[in-house]
Amino acid sequence: MNEYLKVIFGLIGGLAVFLYGMNMMSDSLQKAAGEKMKKVLGAMTKNPILGVLSGALVTAVLQSSSATTVMAIGFVSAGLMTLPQAISIIFGANIGTTMTAQLIAFKISDYIYPIIFIGFIISFVTKKEKVKYIGDTIFSFGLLFLGIETMGSVMKPLASSPFFVNMIGKVAHIPPLGLLVGMCMTLVVQSSSATIAVLQNFAAQAVPGTTQSIIGLAGAIPVLLGDNIGTTITAVLASLGQSRDAKRTAAAHCIFNISGSLIFIWFVKPYAHLIKAISPKGDEIAVISRQIANAHTGFNLTMTIVWTILIGLMVKIVMKLIPMTEAEIARKSGPRYLDPASVHQPALALHLVCQEILHCSEIAKEMLLTLADVTSEKTGEVLAVLKEKAGREKSLVQQINDYVAQVFSAGTLTEEQASQATGVLFVLNDVDRISENTEILAQQMADSEAEGGKMKLSKKAVNSIRSAASNMAELYERLIDSMVSGESIGEERLREDRQTLLAQDADLRKDHMKRVAKGECDARKTAAYNNMITAIGRIGNACVNIAEFSERQVDFRALLKGPKDAIEDAELETVQEDGKEKQA
């Protein structure tokens, strides 16, 4: 096989193993610690500095700035985080992502296969889900370095090629060209960590007969800066189709990297001297990988400090670039919280689903309360409003179901999360039943109250239905509040609610027969009246079903936790730990 073909195949094969290992490691870590990472992001956004720290920490742990960026965009798109908070997290993610380059700079090629073997054994032998994910993380960590080692070994022949050395010499001496090369590489590969890994391995090749790097640190820095520009495409893609704040967050990420690269490109040589001064000393070929890692960290750290101080200016810039539109000011009838970019983030996705279910439950509650106006002079208008709300709620239910199906298809849910997802769908189904039966009941009440003809219910009969519907609205509101607050309803109270519903059903039917006997209600209207009672009973049963699911299967309180709740939980855990230490 042609020597150059071997290099190309080895390079793309090693890159494929590297990217697979990195994605697998990120997915495994998210499954093992996704909930905790969500809490960290939520709890540490009180001010920009804490936001930067949380973004850096989460990215360093997950080994993916893309995962943190998508998470932050999801939070701001769902209205769970302000724009400045999300921007500060993205600043921190830029620092956290440099951890990959720092790890690559460690020469651990002798330990690659033992790491892969240990990870495989842990994942293969254990039955505990969390431990299995840890094994997958170790295994994928080894794969990541195996990919790097493969790329490094196939690049060695390039150092002796006069044509290639010539071409690299041009890139090394023309910084804008290096910037363009780095940007294009990252745009194609969609991972700055991968392209920086390629750069580190390539720079570690020596000019034949010397210990000098084929490209040198001054030649590598422009490529590194181009990588930082190219990585902004991830945030841009994640923000497509999202809220304006999500797009502004992505714009802030672009401004951060582009502005930094355009400034640093003018000071490549002085910056290279500075990095050499603070990095380990030795032969250039032996230390350049660490120097590139330090240059990457130094760039992101410097720009984070600058832009954190100027975060107010950044907010103004992105607000100016992407201004609020008139259509956005008006409340949308579609989903408020569902974020397509978050389907691969199971913890965040379930949180958003629960928020959207609460949105649906609010619509159902409004419909129940509207029943009180069905018999007014504006019955037609009230029914039109109810039908509009019912249509909106039905559309939301369909979109939530589709969204949860996408989350399941992504294959990132743990067993516990899959169980929770199934439970919230049961709750959603009962909310939908309440909306559906409320619409049916409203139409029946309006028909029974219609003037003209002899078949007409008495005012007492209609008022009894209206009173029962009001009771259902109160029951529904109480049970939803308990579900959201996490307060236990108790088996005894649930049994009482069931008995109350049965008693109400029996009383309504009995009272109607008494009115028929007295001639107050037309006997021929009994079937229609019983249908209304049946609709009320179904609404009541759906209410109690929701309570039972939240009591026994779905911890809505935990799934609904946003930034503020996470802060409170973190503070409560600290107090509890302090208390335990004092007792000890």
The model's pLDDT over 537-583, given as tens digits with 9 standing for 90+, comes to 888 888 888 888 777 777 777 777 654 444 344 444 444 444 544 45
- CA diameter of the chain: 113
Cβ-contact 515, 460 below 8 angstroms: yes
Q: What is the average pLDDT value for the chain, to the nearest integer?
A: 77
* Integer Cα distance of 276 and 217 in angstroms: 8
Which residue is it, tokens 């769970």?
Answer: 80
b/e string for 97-116 if b means 16 or more Cβ within 10 A? Answer: bbbbbebbbeeeeeebeebb
The model's pLDDT over 148-202, given as tens digits with 9 standing for 90+, comes to 777 767 766 655 566 555 666 667 778 888 888 888 877 776 667 777 877 887 7
CA dihedral 220, 89, 250, 327 (to 10 degrees): -170
Q: What is the mean predicted confidence (pLDDT) over 312-334? A: 71
Cβ-contact 2, 173 below 8 angstroms: no
Predicted confidence at residue 260, as pLDDT, reads 92
Return the domain boundaries, the chain: 3-324, 340-567
Question: Distances from the Cα of 473 to the Cαs of 230, 317, 432, 539, 546, in angstroms?
Answer: 54, 47, 15, 9, 14
Q: Domain spanning 340-567: which superfamily?
A: Phosphate transport system protein phou homolog 2; domain 2 (1.20.58.220)
> If you compute the radius of gyration of the chain from its CA atoms, what whole number of angstroms results?
31
Predicted confidence at residue 169, as pLDDT, reads 64
The model's pLDDT over 460-490, given as tens digits with 9 standing for 90+, comes to 777 787 788 778 888 888 888 877 777 777 7
What single-letter amino acid sits at 384? A
Predicted confidence (pLDDT) at residue 47 exceeds the cutoff of 90: no
Among 471, 237, 248, 455, CA closest to 369: 471
